Structure 1
Amino acid sequence: MFVRAYLRASTKEQDANRAKSDLLAFAKEHGLQIAATYLENESGASLARPELFRLLSDCQPGDILLIEQVDRLSRLNGADWNKLKDEIRDRRIKVVALDLPTSWGMASGNADEFTSRMADAINNMMLDMIAAIARKDYDDRRRRQAQGIAKAKDQGKYRGRPEDKSRNNAILSMLKGGQSWNTIVSATGCSRSTLARLAKRAVA
């Protein structure tokens, strides 16, 4: 059994590595050793998370996916959450979250079959509940943000996010110099949508 830690933050400005010390402390307290750590800066509302799926493909049956909070794993809508759950179930991976005490027993592997099945059923139910709450929180924040922008526009106060001119000029130079998109994304941390917009500007 291997323990694989997954650390996610939504943007490049956030530190996906922030919770690593908490996961290491939890593992030590439960007599576990983290075999690999996977860091990702992607939205939890999207299934397009290469590091998460690299972790899943690396897992063997019985391995543990260790996370700080359930929302680090999912802010997905219902359909996408079911797809991710199916992937985890089919690979027979145990999800252990620091904010979900019902999952902690999954880390021991010492329970008898009946106790293990009961704990697994309770844990899956709790995962579903917390994942649904995380999604609702995501949707509520998006709704409040949209309402705030609409109000600011009505009042003539909305100016949008200020452009990072120095970064964008550097990206334009890289595009004109023939650098690949993958190289530019890795070097600057910009999104591919931003890169596509700047690429149009570069040929305008």
Structure 2
Amino acid sequence: MKIGYARVSSTGQNETAQVDILTRHGVEEVFIDKASGTTREGRTKLAEAIRFARKGDAIVVTRLDRLARSVPDLHAISQELQAKGVDLIATEQNIDTTTPTGRLMFNMLGAIAEFETDLRKERQLEGIAKAKEEGRYKGRPVTVDGDKIRAALADGRKPVEVAKSFGVARSTVYRFATNK
């Protein structure tokens, strides 16, 4: 059986194009996640697809970056599938892990996907640094008035009571109490 897996990074994105490709490649069951590919956390449909797959089945994706964005994750998923006797196919990259060439391409493209993720992070950090330098990025706005919290504590109110009245965690109250 061919089992499809599609992933988009956010709820604003649409998985229709991936599902169409998977259907054209004979996929019978499709699992769809709307989550980042940089980690397996929050990707419940990927876990379901892997559990659903049986020996002799194939997990089919359109591209490897839909499956994982890091080489360790890609290898972990691949090893999990191998242990179950499940093949992996990436339709748009002509990757089929049942062949030596397919395994080579799988490893190379996995490394490239991880590299792209690292580059994107670097560009984002550079953009934030430039925005800070130009005064356009100020970080998260202050939502708690530290002077009022310190005044409430100075009036003899207990930290738990102060936290409740300001709608903050006790740790926030203690942080303001120790940073005068």
Is TM (by shorter chain) over 0.5? yes
Q: Distance in 2 between matches of 1:23 and 1:81?
A: 19
1:140 equivalent in structure 2: 119
1:193 equivalent in structure 2: none
Q: Deviations over 1:161-186 (max 9, x none)?
A: 9xxxxxxxxxxxxxxxxxxxxxxxxx
1:90 equivalent in structure 2: 83
Q: Distance in 1 between matches of 2:56 and 2:167?
A: 52
Larger radius of gyration: 2
Q: Distance in 2 between matches of 1:79 and 1:102?
A: 18
**1:23-102 map, 5 Å:** 23-25=22-24, 27=25, 32=26, 34-48=27-41, 49-76=43-70, 78-102=71-95
SS class of match (1:19): helix
Q: Distance in 1 between matches of 2:109 and 2:50?
A: 21
Post-superposition offset of 1:128: 0.9
2:16 equivalent in structure 1: 17
Q: Distance in 2 between matches of 1:70 and 1:17?
A: 17
Contact 1:7 1:17 in 2 (8 A): no
Post-superposition offset of 1:160: 6.1
Q: Letter of the aligned partner of 2:134 in structure 1?
A: Q
Contact 1:70 1:99 in 2 (8 A): no
Q: Distance in 2 between matches of 1:97 and 1:57?
A: 19
Post-superposition offset of 1:65: 0.8
Q: Distance in 2 between matches of 1:87 and 1:145?
A: 33
TM-score if structure 2 supplies the norm length? 0.72
**1:84-163 map, 5 Å:** 84-103=77-96, 120-158=99-137
Q: Distance in 2 between matches of 1:21 and 1:79?
A: 28
Contact 1:7 1:20 in 2 (8 A): yes
Q: Distance in 2 between matches of 1:61 and 1:11?
A: 32
RMSD, matched Cα? 2.4
Post-superposition offset of 1:97: 1.1
2:149 equivalent in structure 1: none
Post-superposition offset of 1:17: 3.3
Q: Distance in 1 between matches of 2:38 and 2:61?
A: 16
Q: Distance in 1 between matches of 2:139 and 2:104?
A: 41
Q: Structure 1 unaligned segments of length 5 or more: list them.
A: 107-118, 162-199
Contact 2:78 2:88 in 1 (8 A): no
SS class of match (1:75): coil
Post-superposition offset of 1:92: 1.3
- Against the structure 1 CA distance between its residues 39 and 102, is the aligned structure 2 distance closer, same or farther, given a 3 Å change threshold? closer
Q: Which runs of 4+ in 1 moved over 6 A?
A: none
